[in-house]
Amino acid sequence: MPKLRVLAIALPIVFAIHVAEEAPGFVAWFNNLVTPGITQRLFLSVNAIGFLITLATASLVANSRSSGACVVAVAWVGFLMLANGTLHLVATLVHSRYSPGVITGSLLYLPFSVLFMQAVVRERAIPWRTVLSAALAGGVPMYIHGYLIVFRGSRFF
């Protein structure tokens, strides 16, 4: 099992790999489903902010023994990776076509989320109930956003 510190350091790398898969086609895919659409500039700025938050989260977890920091990090991973990976997978299945990000969302984000949560439970002795609650609560905005995109052709943010 990977150590929590190693997983924290890997967070921004996994994020960057996912955005690299998404970037070439996500805006066109999204705009085909949702009105009003988004611009490539908005896509890049949202992901730049997400990357900075991920860097800060990774640094905090990697350099701290704080249980509270880990719960916050789990909420961020729940939003950024668990809910987002689920969004890409569900979108691909529902629309029977490639959702840019589904490969890394399925093969990196979903397993990484589980590994990260396991490491928090193991190394910080935070109960599973707390970790799962944080991950699910953190993911709520992305779950709502994903539902609106995939099933309603609209968006939450």
Tell me the pLDDT tens digit for each residue of 75-94. Answer: 999 999 999 999 999 999 99
User: Does 27 reside within a domain?
Assistant: yes
User: Does 54 reside within a domain?
Assistant: yes
What pTM did the predictor assign? 0.96
- In sign, the C-alpha dihedral spanning 19, 102, 73, 59 is negative
Within 10 Å of residue 127's Cβ, how many Cβ atoms? 9
**What is the predicted pLDDT for the residue at 121?**
98
CA dihedral 15, 18, 23, 26 (to 10 degrees): -120
**What is the predicted pLDDT for the residue at 156?**
81
Number of structural domains found in the chain: 1
Mean pLDDT, the chain, rounded, equals: 97
User: Does 157 reside within a domain?
Assistant: no
Q: Residue 130 and residue 76: Cα distance in Å, rounded?
A: 14
Question: 125: left (phi > 0), else alpha (psi -120 to 50), else beta?
Answer: left
User: Does 82 reside within a domain?
Assistant: yes
Q: Residue 52 and residue 28: Cα distance in Å, rounded?
A: 25
User: Does 50 reside within a domain?
Assistant: yes
Please answer whether residues 127 and 8 qualify as being in contact, where contact means their C-beta atoms are separated by less than 8 angstroms: no
Helix axis angle, 110-124 to 128-147, nearest 10°: 160
Q: Is the per-residue pLDDT at 157 higher than 90?
A: no
User: Does 85 reside within a domain?
Assistant: yes
Q: Which residue range forms the structural domain that includes residue 118?
A: 4-152
Tell me the pLDDT tens digit for each residue of 120-152. Answer: 999 999 999 999 999 999 999 999 999 999 999
User: Does 147 reside within a domain?
Assistant: yes
User: Does 42 reside within a domain?
Assistant: yes
Please answer whether residues 13 and 130 qualify as being in contact, where contact means their C-beta atoms are separated by less than 8 angstroms: no
Question: What length does the chain have?
Answer: 157
